């Protein structure tokens, strides 16, 4: 039986020897799939033993991945689900979903995979994400999944996951993020994301802009792929946004993307619309998805507490609009905000509601933006804001000053939400 101390040491070796994007940012980014193809070959191309769905996009790809996995599971399929980053436990990245519940990859599977392949990691000069991608592919094979939903890490064309041959490609939306790696215009970023479109494989585009639609149409035309623009269609699944157990307003957009995805794969997989819809409604329950407009407490006599992992201007615009919309339901709203240092602070501030009180904080991650910088920028912008760090102290202060008719909202960064959870 695996000793948890041995597992933790092995995992720490992996994190220190092959740094994650979560910890060091762009230094961990390794464009190109050559070494991943070599690693995949060493592993025996495990992803060829099951069908796959490939999902990219600036925001929403995690929610869409989980919603599709939940729907497929409700139709009787055993589903592999590979997403990133994790919030608390590394194993959150790799899970199976079946029968309305999920299982994270066991510690001993992680330990054994790392132990068996340490020399391969070094010889091929693999990145952390390439290693975890290979681990996911191999474990899904051992679990005999029927299909795996695979989320890209960063971009698409040069992403490690782009070695698969999916039955469906999905691109949720495009925003200006990771510009130093993907390009400094919407067109350039769309080109990178469109790289997951494969010959003859249908593709769903969740949302498009005037700058990005021609890029997608051109790539789909080159690949002779059927293209569906979800935002132009109607919701065909038997579920409304209000019935979802994922309560963010932005899930309305994601639900249309999932609905279009179902339409393109339902016949080939023999999916039942009612069963798929039932699974999508219970996504959080079925897959364990956390941090998407999640109520951490709600009830009489206590303040509501909500957290959300929206972490860039594109995503925080949706979050800010919803906080602003519901603020009239509360006596006071306290917004705990922390950001990563590579985010566009000025752009994010434009989308934040003004009728709330802010606590600028700073996660323990080395990538966290200085809370003083956040607070000063918000004060200069006319917001009511104070700096309180660390995150736990900001949370304690917000709760201690909140009454039963108040809301405490936590967001701006995966790291901040992870520390609260």
CATH number at residue 29: 3.40.1190.10
Same domain flag for 267 and 161: yes
pLDDT-derived band at 227 (thresholds 50, 70, 90) equals very high
Helix (H) or strand (E) run with residue 53 in it: strand 51-56
Stretch 271-294: mean pLDDT: 97
Q: Say whether pLDDT at 29 is over 80.
A: no
Q: What pLDDT, in 10s, does the model give residues 320-363?
A: 999 999 999 999 999 999 999 989 999 999 999 999 999 999 99
Token reading at 410: 């936590």
Sign of CA dihedral 351, 357, 361, 363: negative
Token reading at 80: 């592999």
Tell which of 261, 287, 313 closes a domain.
287
CA distance 146 to 53: 11
User: Percent helix, strand, coil in the chain (nearest 5)?
Assistant: 50, 15, 35
Residue 38, SS3 per DSSP: helix
pLDDT at 74: 98
pLDDT-derived band at 32 (thresholds 50, 70, 90) equals confident
Kindly list the distances between the CA atom of residue 73 and the CA atoms of 49, 70, 77, 190, 203, in Å, as whole numbers in the listed order.
18, 5, 5, 30, 21
Place of tokens 């860039």: 312
Same domain flag for 263 and 304: no
Place of tokens 């603020």: 327
pLDDT-derived band at 204 (thresholds 50, 70, 90) equals very high
Residue 269, SS3 per DSSP: helix
Centre a 10 Å sphere on the Cβ of residue 393 and count the other Cβ atoms it contains: 12
Which domain covers residue 327, as residue numbers? 294-420
pLDDT-derived band at 28 (thresholds 50, 70, 90) equals low
Same domain flag for 82 and 160: yes
Stretch 65-69: mean pLDDT: 98
Token reading at 213: 């639609």
Stretch 21-37: mean pLDDT: 69
Token reading at 403: 């009454």
Q: How many domains does the chain have?
A: 2
CA distance 314 to 347: 9
Same domain flag for 235 and 101: yes
Tell which of 229, 257, 287 closes a domain.
287
Sign of CA dihedral 254, 259, 260, 266: positive
Same domain flag for 309 and 256: no
Same domain flag for 253 and 300: no
Same domain flag for 244 and 330: no
Q: What is the CATH number of the domain that holds 372?
A: 3.90.190.20
Between strands 101-104 and 94-98, the pairing is antiparallel
Q: Say whether pLDDT at 181 is over 80.
A: no
Q: Say whether pLDDT at 68 is over 90.
A: yes
Same domain flag for 263 and 321: no
pLDDT-derived band at 183 (thresholds 50, 70, 90) equals low
Between 27 and 13, the more confident residue is: 13
φ/ψ of residue 363, rounded to 5:
-70, 165
Between strands 333-337 and 357-360, the pairing is parallel
Same domain flag for 389 and 332: yes
Inter-residue contact 293 to 247 (CB < 8 Å): yes
Cis geometry, peptide bond prior to residue 85 (ω within 30 degrees of 0): yes
pLDDT at 300: 86
Centre a 10 Å sphere on the Cβ of residue 277 and count the other Cβ atoms it contains: 20
CA distance 309 to 385: 20
Beta strands in 141-293 (DSSP E): 147-151, 168-171, 203-205, 227-229
Stretch 212-218: mean pLDDT: 97
pLDDT-derived band at 23 (thresholds 50, 70, 90) equals low
* Mean pLDDT of the residues in the chain: 93
Centre a 10 Å sphere on the Cβ of residue 242 and count the other Cβ atoms it contains: 7
Same domain flag for 211 and 357: no
pLDDT at 37: 97
Q: Say whether pLDDT at 21 is over 80.
A: no
Token reading at 192: 């990178």
pLDDT at 2: 86
Same domain flag for 19 and 137: yes
Three-point CA angle 410, 399, 242, nearest 5°? 50
Cis geometry, peptide bond prior to residue 390 (ω within 30 degrees of 0): yes
pLDDT at 417: 96
Q: How far apart are the first and last CA of the chain?
A: 29
Inter-residue contact 56 to 172 (CB < 8 Å): yes
Same domain flag for 214 and 322: no
Centre a 10 Å sphere on the Cβ of residue 192 and count the other Cβ atoms it contains: 23
Q: CA 295 from chain center: how many Å?
A: 18
Helix (H) or strand (E) run with residue 296 in it: strand 294-297
Helix (H) or strand (E) run with residue 326 in it: helix 313-326
Q: Say whether pLDDT at 30 is over 90.
A: no
Stretch 44-67: mean pLDDT: 97
Q: What pLDDT, in 10s, does the model give residues 127-159?
A: 999 999 999 999 999 999 999 999 999 889 999
Inter-residue contact 71 to 280 (CB < 8 Å): yes
Stretch 353-374: mean pLDDT: 95
Tell which of 244, 271, 287 closes a domain.
287
């Amino acid at each position: 039986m695996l000793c948890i101390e041995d597992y933790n040491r092995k995992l720490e070796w992996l994190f220190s020897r092959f740094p994650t994007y979560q910890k060091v940012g762009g230094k961990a980014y390794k464009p190109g799939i050559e070494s991943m193809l070599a690693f995949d070959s060493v592993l025996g191309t495990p992803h060829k033993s099951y069908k796959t769905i490939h999902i990219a996009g600036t925001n929403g790809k995690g929610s869409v991945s989980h919603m599709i996995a939940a729907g497929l599971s409700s139709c009787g399929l055993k589903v592999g689900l590979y997403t990133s980053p994790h919030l608390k436990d590394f194993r959150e990245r790799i899970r199976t979903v079946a029968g309305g519940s999920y299982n994270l990859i066991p510690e001993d599977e992680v330990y054994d995979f790392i132990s068996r392949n340490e020399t391969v990691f070094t010889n091929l000069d693999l990145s952390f994400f390439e290693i975890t991608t290979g681990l996911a592919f191999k474990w899904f094979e051992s679990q005999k999944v029927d299909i795996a939903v695979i989320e890209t890490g960063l971009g698409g064309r040069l992403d490690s996951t782009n070695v698969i041959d999916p039955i469906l490609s999905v691109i949720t939306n495009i925003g200006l993020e990771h510009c130093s790696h993907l390009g400094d215009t919407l067109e350039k970023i769309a080109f990178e994301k469109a790289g997951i479109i494969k010959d003859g494989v249908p593709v769903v585009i969740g949302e498009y802009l005037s700058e990005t639609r021609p890029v997608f149409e051109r790539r789909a035309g080159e690949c002779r792929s059927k293209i569906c623009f979800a935002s132009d269609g109607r919701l065909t699944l038997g579920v409304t946004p209000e019935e979802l157990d994922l309560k963010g307003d932005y899930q309305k957009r994601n639900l249309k993307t999932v609905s279009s995805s179902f339409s393109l794969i339902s016949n080939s997989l023999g999916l039942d619309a009612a069963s798929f819809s039932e699974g999508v409604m219970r996504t959080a329950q079925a897959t364990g998805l956390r941090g998407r407009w999640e109520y951490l407490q709600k009830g009489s006599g206590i303040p509501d507490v909500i957290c959300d992992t929206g972490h860039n201007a594109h995503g925080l615009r949706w979050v800010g609009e919803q906080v602003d919309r519901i603020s009239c339901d509360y006596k006071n709203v306290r917004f705990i905000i922390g950001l990563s240092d590579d985010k566009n602070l000025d752009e994010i501030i434009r989308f934040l509601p003004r009728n709330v009180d802010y606590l600028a904080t700073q996660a323990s991650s080395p990538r966290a933006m200085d809370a003083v910088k956040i607070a000063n920028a918000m004060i200069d912008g006319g917001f009511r804001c104070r700096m309180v760090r660390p995150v736990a102290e900001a949370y304690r202060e917000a709760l201690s000053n909140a009454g039963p008719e108040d809301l405490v909202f936590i967001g701006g960064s995966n790291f901040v939400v992870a520390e609260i959870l």
